[in-house]
Amino acid sequence: MSIKYLQTILFSLLFTTAFSQNVSNFKIEGNKKLKTSFINKVSRLSEQSVLDSTLIEEDIKLLKRLPSIAHANYTTKKLKDGSYEVVYIVEENFTIIPSVNVYTSNDDEFAYRLGLYEFNLFGQNMTFGGFYQKDIYSSYGVNFRAPFLFNRKFGLAVNHMDWQTQEPVFFNSGTVNYKYQNTSYEILGLYQPDFNNRLELGLNLFKENYDYLEDQTISNQFKNISANKVMIKGLYEYNNLDFEYQYVTGFKSLLNLQYVISNNDVLPTFLIGWNDLNYYKKVGEKGNWASRLRLGLATNNDSAFAPFSLDNNLNIRGVGNTIDRGTGAIVLNTEYRRTLYEKGWFVLQGNAFVDAGSWRNPGGNFSDFVASENIRVFPGLGLRFIHKTIFNAVFRIDYGYGISKNDARGFVFGIGQYF
């Protein structure tokens, strides 16, 4: 190594030390339940860091995404010795949140789900809680999620669910209703390599039962079906969203991949994947345009028990509770949200939406996506009642109306924005 090269390195180090703006004091203010140690753990800025506005802005965006924080900002102050003091100012959310989902359709279907979750367990931004659902039969689930359990990058999630519903299955001879039960145990490893990206990988062990309901006239169908299954699942998310209370801007992509291994050929082994592309844009002072495009495909088994479902509370508002199934899906949800009234913590928001989608029939072709009988279009209107400082405190009411012949219509109630 030449003397000239060493001199260049030494000069660069001396220049950086002389002219960099160091942070000698880093403070957190406004947090009460959320631990200061947790904010320090997830923040990239620390004492003795070089003052970097880009890094600070990323920290603030990350904090605003956390369930425990309603809003975040920062201040900087130059000290007498030339170093800087940086203060992160956070406004906490109330995080013990009940959840309520109610959905109906014009054929008098009615179902509801009640839950209670703590989104800031031990002041460490952990989520723990569960739900009870009544959809003809009773179901429940228990969930634990700690995305920053080990450090800023690594976390863990554990879930258990006992899910029971009446499921329609669509055979050539007609629709058959089954009592469906799914009992599952799941563990996931969570990894967030940087500000915009996160991954999940895990294992789900579950048992499925389909029990034929005897008060039906269609015969020669499967009476009772049971399968033990193993699901290997992975998730990748790119998230560049920014939040300002009820307003959201930016882009998010969420890719889910699942490989399900079955011990029963009637409920066969399959691979499934879907990608949600979300885009949000603020329009003027009070408007927000939001869109979600879902593209999904699964192994094209010619089975009545296809994995994608057309459902009121999942993809198209007003369509009804599980009215069709397929091995592929294309769904677009787009809506314009507008703040109608805002005072203090309360916001009343209205929205106009269009939900549209198409499905590939089990064992069918890609041409099924453009077949008129597989396309559903549901415009509608809704209201949002929002508490700005309680996490996910958005009570929504939507009414969707199908514009095709014989389409359903109905209300969808829930907590949180639809997407």
Does one domain contain both 302 and 396? yes
Whether 36 and 140 map to the same domain: the answer is no
Q: What's the pLDDT at 274?
A: 97
188 with 317, same domain: the answer is yes
Domain with residue 250: its CATH number is 2.40.160.50
Do 23 and 113 share a structural domain? Answer: no
Return the pLDDT at 218: 65
Question: Do 85 and 169 fall into the same domain?
Answer: no
* 74 and 164 in a common domain: no
Contact status, residue 355 vs residue 200, Cβ threshold 8 Å: no
Based on C-alpha coordinates, what's the Rg of the chain?
25
Residue 15, pLDDT score: 43
CA distance 217 to 237: 46
Give yes or no: residues 32 and 142 share one domain: no
At 19 the pLDDT is: 44
pLDDT of residue 16: 47
357: domain range? 96-415
Domain C-terminal end among 34, 63, 92 = 92
**Site of tokens 């070089």:** 50
Residues 349 and 383 in one domain: yes
The pLDDT of residue 144: 98
Residues of the chain with pLDDT under 50: 11, 13-19
Same domain for 391 and 324, yes or no, is: yes
Looking at the structure, tell me whether residues 59 and 112 fall in a common domain. no
DSSP 159-175: EEEEEEEEEEEEETTEE
Nearest residue to 411 via CA among 373, 374, 382: 382
Return the pLDDT at 18. 45
The total domain count for the chain is: 2
Q: Are residues 192 and 313 in the same domain?
A: yes
The answer to whether residues 226 and 83 belong to one domain is no
Q: The CATH number of the domain where 52 resides is what? A: 3.10.20.310
Of 72, 92, 112, the last residue of a domain is 92
Q: What are the Cα distances from residue 164, in Å, to 184, 260, 326, 386?
A: 12, 20, 21, 31
In sequence order, what are the beta bridge partners of 280? Answer: 250, 290
pTM for the whole structure: 0.79
Cβ neighbours of residue 231 under 8 Å, at least 6 residues apart? 203, 204, 205, 206, 258, 259, 260, 261
